[in-house]
Structure 1
Amino acid sequence: MLTRIGEVQSISHGSTRHPGHAYSSVVLLYTSLLALLLIGLSYNVVRLRQRHQVGIGTGSVQALERAVRAQANFCEYVPLALLLLALIEFGGNVPTWALHVLGLLLLSGRIAHALGLTRSAGASRARVIGTVLTWTVLLVASGMGLAAGVVAAIN
């Protein structure tokens, strides 16, 4: 619960998470940047639909098929990654630098994957790099979440 801008109050205990200073949301920064990337990917789909006069589907236009898959792949992976990062951040036991590293890896991975997929239907170095970075973020964030869950269950 927000008590005032910059402070988060626990609903169950009524205590402020970070008394005396503003609550910083690293994940909000990366969520915003990734939202801008999604807008770019979506614009690319619309632009190609208009150029090739395709109202729905891909009309078997290769460039449009790649653009649609780049957008869809983004939507398949990014929400879960951001949810994991947000929950880890909210838990408060992860250093800010670690969240920045994971956020940068996710952002870089999604940019690389989108570039690789929109430029070539086949395998490409950028797609592989993007996939590896995205999966790395999911694996590390899942591990951090599992560790936090086990610690919470024990305590």
Structure 2
Amino acid sequence: MITALYASLLALLMMWLAVQVIKQRHKSRVAYADGGIDELKIARSAQGNAAEYIPITLILLALIEHNGANVLLIHGLGILFLVGRVIHAKAILAENIKGRVTGMKLTFAVMFALVVLNLIYLPFDKLW
């Protein structure tokens, strides 16, 4: 299953973001929430954003794969999504608004493409 590759790579990204939060918590000696520390707020924002967008997109990717989409199409969308998420995560941590916008544009483009493709590849004959 091709989606497993991208799920694994994105899980590594999420783990890296979690480590960024842990580092900030340790540095600031904050056990819960953000303690009002800007760097910790930023790290938590980056992690939270990834947690919001990655799961649904992986589900959509797995569904088009399951319904028989072209292998190159699946890889192309997986790569674009991964690149978008990495750009976005690094940009949040660096407080780089242009990178955040670029990352979200890639994320939304892939998500929208997956929505459309899922409707195209939907096995309508098996719905009833």
Percent identity (aligned)? 35
Shift in CA distance, 149/46, structure 1 to aligned 2, threshold 3 Å? same
Counterpart in 2 of 1:73?
49
Question: Quick check: 1:140 aligned with 2:113?
Answer: yes
Shift in CA distance, 153/90, structure 1 to aligned 2, threshold 3 Å? closer
Taking the aligned partners of 2:87 and 2:99, their CA distance within structure 1 comes to 5
Taking the aligned partners of 2:33 and 2:94, their CA distance within structure 1 comes to 19
The one-letter amino acid paired with 2:12 is L
Question: Quick check: 1:115 aligned with 2:95?
Answer: no
Residue segments in structure 1 that go unaligned for 5+ positions in a row: 1-24
Counterpart in 2 of 1:49?
25
TM-score by length of 2: 0.94
Of residues 105-114 and 123-132 in structure 1, the stretch that sits farther from structure 2 once superposed is: 123-132
Counterpart in 1 of 2:104?
131
The higher relative CO (CA closer than 8 Å, separation ≥ 6) is in 2
Shift in CA distance, 52/79, structure 1 to aligned 2, threshold 3 Å? same
Larger Rg: 1
Residue segments in structure 2 that go unaligned for 5+ positions in a row: none
The one-letter amino acid paired with 1:35 is A
Structure with greater proportional helix content:
2
1:134-153 deviations in Å (ceiling 9; x for gaps): 10111000001112237446
Taking the aligned partners of 1:108 and 1:148, their CA distance within structure 2 comes to 24
Taking the aligned partners of 1:151 and 1:126, their CA distance within structure 2 comes to 39
State the number of aligned residues.
128
Taking the aligned partners of 1:81 and 1:136, their CA distance within structure 2 comes to 11
The one-letter amino acid paired with 1:96 is V
Counterpart in 2 of 1:95?
70
Taking the aligned partners of 2:26 and 2:114, their CA distance within structure 1 comes to 39
RMSD (CA atoms): 1.6
Asked whether the equivalents of residues 67 and 123 of structure 2 are also in contact (C-alpha less than 8 Å), the reply is no
Asked whether the equivalents of residues 84 and 106 of structure 2 are also in contact (C-alpha less than 8 Å), the reply is yes
1:36-57 deviations in Å (ceiling 9; x for gaps): 0100000110111011000011
